Structure 1
Amino acid sequence: MSRFKKLSHTLWHCNYHIVWTPKYRYRILEGEIKREVENCLHQFVDRQGGVVEELNVQKDHIHLLVSVPPKVSISSFVGTIKGRTSIRVLNKFKQLKKKPYWGNHFWARGYCVDTVGLDEEMIRKYVKYQEEHEKREESK
């Protein structure tokens, strides 16, 4: 099976490792909020024609390994998933809006994105097991 996907006139393999945080890097992504964010990400990535390869939602940040068609710019892709998940989470969990530090913003500004080439399997493992590695480092 080829790693390439097809559009009508294009063969493509565009994978990205994206990392972003909640506003002020608050450790809020747990329980119901975490599940809602995971569901939203799967929905909104799918709507843009992407595929979630790996997803790791931790208390204070998100790692997403995603395959995105070349017709979608990565900046508009990230803007859409961050914006749509923010709206959904703030509407579902109204208590977050009551805190003076949230306002109408759930995510911090900006994100980190890296293209994934030949080391895809290594990055996939990193995203999948990063939380376990972080816990081991904290316990030392």
Structure 2
Amino acid sequence: MDNASIAHTRWNCTYHIVFIPKYRRKIMYGETKKDIVEILKKLCEMKQITLIEGKVCKDHVHMYIAIPPKLCVSECMAYLKGKSALMLFDRHPEYRSRWGERHFWARGYYVATVGNVNEDTIIEYIRQQEESDKLEDGRK
């Protein structure tokens, strides 16, 4: 990704982010997985966050995103996790009754800055996550 610009600023702020559902439950498959993908894409668009690459695995989410410098990573994550949980509970009320209100995602997340040097490595790693999940399911 080349430098983007806002107002009088050129920027290239990209991050690899990983987060998990509460208690690392293995519940993100089928309709739930499709809904999470759709919700996260929509929320990124609303905040002008560029979703470069992403995968929703059965027990975690990988995102490679570009966040404008006017936003901080922690605010973006609070927004993405908070709003996505509420939207998911609207679509799947059974999760709300089972785990309590507003508690779909675990509290923390992993974040690493991504420079131009290792961008291809991160993208390839994220793409391989889904294959890794499939192989793991096949062994059971």
Taking structure 2 as the reference length, the TM-score comes to 0.91
> Could you list the runs of 4 or more consecutive aligned residues of structure 1 that deviate by over 3 angstroms after TM superposition?
133-139
Task: Give secondary structure in 2 for the equivalent of 1:52.
Answer: strand
Identity %: 37
Instruction: Show the counterpart of 2:107.
Output: 109
Residue deviations 1:9-56 (CA, integer Å, cap 9, x gap): 111001000000001111111111111110111011111111110110
Instruction: Show the counterpart of 1:7.
Output: 6
State how many pairs are aligned.
136
Describe how 1:24-39 pairs up with structure 2 within 5 A. 24-39=23-38
Q: Is 1:87 paired with 2:81?
A: no
The question of whether the paired residues in 1 share the 8 Å contact of 2:57 and 2:129 is answered with no
- Aligned-pair RMSD on alpha carbons? 1.5
Taking structure 1 as the reference length, the TM-score comes to 0.91
Distance in structure 1 (CA, Å) of the matches to 2:71 and 2:18: 18
Describe how 1:1-140 pairs up with structure 2 within 5 A. 3-99=2-98, 102-104=99-101, 105-117=103-115, 118-133=117-132, 135-136=134-135, 139=139
Distance in structure 2 (CA, Å) of the matches to 1:43 and 1:135: 26
Greater shift in the superposed pair: 67-76 or 128-137: 128-137
